Every structure is written in structure tokens, then in C-alpha cells.
Chains A and B, each alone.
Chain A
Amino acid sequence: MNQPALKETLKLTADVLVIGGGPAGTWAALTAAAKGVKVILADKGYCGSSGATAPSGTGVWYVKPEEELREAAKASRYAMGGKLAEHRWMDRVLDRTYENMNRLGVAGYPFPVDEEGNQYRRSLQGPEYMRLMRKLVKKAGVKILDHSPVLELLADEHGVAGAAGVQTQTGEAWSVHAGAVVIATGGCAFLSKALGCNVLTGDGYLFAAEAGASLSGMEFSNAYAICPTFSSVTKTAYYSYASFYYEDGTVVEGAGSKKGRSVIARNLLAGRQVFAKLDGADEALQPLLRVAQTNFFLPFDRRGINPFKDVFPVTLRLEGTVRGTGGIRITDESCGTGVPGLYAAGDAATRELICGGFTGGGSHNAAWAMSSGSFAGEGAAAYAAGLGWHSVHRAPVGLSSSPLVHQEVKAGAAARTAEYVEAVQAEVKPYDINLFRTEQGLASSLERLDGLWKEQRGREIQRTPEGVKAREAEAMTATARWMYSSALARTETRGMHKREDFKGSDDSQHHRLISGGLDQVWVKTEEVAKESVLL
């Protein structure tokens, strides 16, 4: 068993602990606090700047509650997602997103005002949005722990009961005993440096699996964004205005920001650099594009490149499950995970319920984050409030797969962690393993990943900032194993999951793939709610 965190100087209690301070986590904290319970929010970085949303601009799936508009909104990505979304969930998320966006307007988010004097509430600027969310969360009386990554969940025989971690700026260990925990740690982009994504290493998936929860849709995990080779700024939507060229100026036939991403990938795989130019944006449009995504132009401006006129080299940067749809399996309407006291929200949870096996990121993910965060916050608050007297006498223990210790671990641990990270990246980044999937490629990669897991899970991890990185490496390894085990099991092409050896979709596989397990990874099928076929 893991050593109890004896040296902890920071021991706190709460009704609800929220892990992660992005959109999902802040909405969870806000809605839980509104139920009158005590809430603590712990962020690995800084609540307000952490995660994929804070540095970018995003559309939001904000649709007026008019039947025709709603039906069109639900149908828009249904087929692209491989018909795995569910009617009832789309309705709930559309309702809650509409409500929450309107709340943001009232709370002071500076939405633009159109000619008729109405606020335009269909997009959010990340810095503004997350700065406001932090303010609202604090005002609601939530205690925020910044720079406080979680190392493990705590649990007893009744269920999950808190978490323990370390404060990276002081080196102090911390623990929070809580009646319920919401995991809102985002997806996993494998430290690829996609904009804002390096805090998203699949930690929540690992924590949830260690508590006995399962995952869903992990085969939908091969999102790659178009991005200048030199830059972190991933904003694929803007490349709908791009043409793609080879070095000699000839056009790359079939390359594009949507289906043509594969063409770019195949060229890069063959060692042919692809260049882009946003020459499809006319002069009237250019200033609009500049304002709507200020950071998109930052790298170009700073390098003296005019992306509307000059070509620049591009690559495809892995976004994994951040703009995939797989994540922790949701088992009820309050975003419970099936494990008592444990809830999941945002990119940490599966988004198949509203977009099946495909998402362009942005719009749906943003809607899901604020809605699922709210559902989970309410669910966790109600659960914690219902625990009653026995909640104060609990003595939960840590759930980490690897032993977490206070004393120094063997020398060279940091270097080994870096090696594990590189080894996992070497399995998930290559287009010929992860984007273009084959049985052979997936199976041999899985073998190596299983080996990597075995090596890591036995080693002692110190409760230090360095130990956090070791846990991240474990989380990424585990995530890759659930991804590829699911991808192997889905012997068809559906949503974003592309099998080179099974190019068509197979009606008999119109089901979800649930996965889980740590030393032994398992995958099984689950029916999609029947009503979804009505669309």
C-alpha cells in the first residue's frame, strides 16, 4: 500500500473536490457551490490560464431553443460522428449550454453586440472567458489550489473520498478529503505542445481507472491539427482558406483542412514538406480573421510572415483525445462514472454522447465542457450532501498503481521519466501508427506500450514535482494502451477512427467500445441508446 502522506502540511476537507480548473472544472465548482456545499478546486497549473481553452478562441454550440434550429444543430455532425451521439444528451447539452452562455452574458462577459443590440453569444475568447470563470468561482466561495497537481485519488470501501498531490511551487504535499470528486483534467495530447495542451496528459483517465471506472470511445483519439512547423498555434478551421503547396510551388492535390488532412499526412510521411498559404481569404475577410483569432497571427507577425501571401511549412500536431471524443465513461445523467463519489466532465469524459466519434473541437467540446461540468457539479454536490454523518469519519487510502513515497527514490528517476515520455510519443505521434491504423501497426505498438507500462508501474514515485511528471508518463502510457486496444477492436472505419485494413464502416459495429484495466487492458462493446437512430 502507498505511504500515507505523513509530511503533508496542507490537509483540507471539502464536500466536493474538483480536479482541473479549465471550463469544465470551473463550471463544476460553480454549480456545486451554488448548491451550498463546500468546494475546493485544484489545478495542475493556474485556474484561468491552464488548458486548451484559455489561450484560444472557440465557437460554442449555442443554439436558440427553437425546434427547427435545434434539429438542424443535432443533425449537423451526427453522420460524421458515425451515428454514435444520443438524442437525449444532445438536447440536455444544448439546453444547458444556452443557459450557461446567457449566464456569462449577465455575469459580465463582453459579448459583441450586433446591429439589433443583441449580444452575440456563439463564441468565446479563451483568456477573457477563463479569467471571468476564475473570478466567478472565487466569488462563489470556492477555494482554489493553483499549481497543485493530483498524484492519486483517495478512496475507502464506500467510494472515492478525495485526492492527494503536491504543490509544484513549494514542494509541499497536500491532500483533500472530500465527499465527492469531479475529474475535469482535460484530454490527452501527449506533450505535443499543441496550444495550451501540455498540461493535458490523461491524468484523469488514469485516476479514474485506478478507482475502477472505465473509458469509452478511446479509439476516437487520433486528432491532429494543422500547424506551422515552428509554432504551437493549432487552429485548423482557418486552414479552410488555405491552399497547400510543395516546395517547388506546385499544388498538393486533395490537401485540405478537413478530409484532405490525410493527404498532408501522407506527404509528410513520405518526407515531402507541405507548405500552406491562406490565399483563399479575400481582402475583406482578412481583418475579420485577424480579430477573431488574435493568437493565430502572432507567430506569423513575429516572424515577419504574411500568411495570406507567403507560404509557410506546416505539420500535423497531435491533439490526441483533446479534439478526439474518447474519455471516461459516463454512466448517468449527473456525469457519474459508476464509481460512488466519482464524476467526470469536459474533455476528461467521453464526448461521444453529443458528437459520436468525431468533433472538430471548439463548438461541441466547449458546449460539452460547460454542460457536463454543470451536471457533474450538481451531481457531486448532491452525492456529498447525501453522505451525512459518516463522511467525517472516513480514512481513505491512495489508489496509485505505483507506490508513492516521501523519501528519495533511486537516482536517475527524472531521466527515466523523460525516456518513458519519448517512448510513448514514438508510439502515438507517427501518422502511420495512429492516424492510418492497421492491425499490424496497432498490435506491435501495443506490445511495446504494455512493456512500458510494466516497467513503470513497479517503480517508486516520490511525492514531488518530479513525481508528478512520472505519473504523467504513466497516464500517457495507460491512455495509449486504451486507445490502441480500442482501435484494434474496432475493425472498421467510423468517425475519426480510420482503419487502413477496414476502410468502410460496418453496421454491425454501430456500438460503443468500453475499455479499462491497468495491468490487463480489456475492451467490450456497449449498445448505443436506441433513440439515436431516430435522427
Chain B
Amino acid sequence: MIEVISADRCVECNQCVSVCPTNVFDRVENGIPVIARQSDCQTCFMCELYCPVDALYVAPDSEGITGITEAELEQQGLLGGYREKVGWGKGRQPVASHDFMYKLAARAGF
């Protein structure tokens, strides 16, 4: 589930509020969004992917809260990892165009 919004990184663009399919966040006047309905989070990672400044962290656990902190995330370099792999963001190549896509198909049939 979504666990962390980094106040240091967040630029208050509210993209996460817009893109969350299950409406987990609330906009805040002159502030960063809040996680208002955490139990509605379906752990789909879309908010993290759309965040332009890697301020969000979705813990992989869909059933409970891990309690991971921003400091731990910074230390382990976990913020922004998914967006990087998908190849979104300036100067990156979308993973969709990676030639492994058809190489895997040639080998595995899917």
C-alpha cells in the first residue's frame, strides 16, 4: 500500500490525487497531498509511476502496513525505482521499446 509521501520531494502537483484509480489521496490547500483513505489502496503502483519527482513510495505489501520510513527509503535508494525501470522521465527510454520484449517472446512464447 501507499505509505510515504516525501515532503522534501513533493512539488504539490497533485498528479497522484488525479491518477489514483481508487481515490486514496486528498488535495490540501497550500500543502502536499495526504493519504486519506489508505485502506482503499490496491497496491497498483500507478501513483508512484506518475509522480514526476519520485516523492511517493508504495510498499509491496497489499494486505498490511510495513511502517517503512522516508529515511529508510532514502538509505536503501528505493524512491523512484519503479519509474526508472518503466523508463518514464526525462532522458529515459520507455521499457516498452526494449528489444527484450520480442526476445522473450521468441524464447518463451509470451
Contact = CB atoms under 8 A, between A and B. Distances in A.
Interface of A: 44-46, 48-51, 54-55, 59, 109-114, 120, 122-125, 127-129, 146-147, 168-169, 193, 195-199, 230-233, 237, 240, 285, 287-289, 291-292, 294-295, 298-303, 362-363, 465
B49 A146 contact: no
Interface string B88-100: 1000001111111
Nearest to A46: B19
A49 B81 contact: no
Contacts of A49: 19-21, 44, 46, 50
Contact of B43 (A44, A54, A232): A232
Interface in B30-60: 40, 42-46, 49-50, 59-60
Contacts, number: 144
Contacts of B22: 45, 198-199
B103 interface: yes
B28 interface: no
Contacts of A111: 96-97
Contact of A123 (B23, B40, B99, B101): B101
A54 B45 CA distance: 10
A114 B19 CA distance: 33
Given A294-B82, A294-B86, A112 B60 contact: no
Given A128-B94, A301-B81, A232 B42 contact: yes
A199 B105 contact: no
Given A54-B46, A127-B88, A298-B82, A291 B95 contact: yes
A383 to B, nearest CB: 30
25 contacts: A45-B23, A46-B18, A49-B20, A49-B44, A49-B50, A51-B21, A59-B105, A109-B96, A110-B97, A122-B105, A123-B105, A124-B96, A125-B96, A127-B46, A128-B94, A168-B23, A193-B62, A196-B42, A230-B62, A233-B60, A288-B100, A291-B98, A294-B85, A295-B82, A302-B78
B21 A196 contact: yes
Interface size class of B (residues with CB under 8 A): 35 or more
A114 B82 contact: no
Contacts of B50: 49
Contacts of A112: 96-102
Q: What 7 A-B pairs come out closest when comparing CB atoms?
A: A45-B21, A299-B60, A120-B102, A198-B42, A110-B97, A232-B43, A232-B62
Contact of B60 (A199, A294, A303): A303
Nearest to A118: B102
Contacts of A237: 110
A48 B42 CA distance: 16
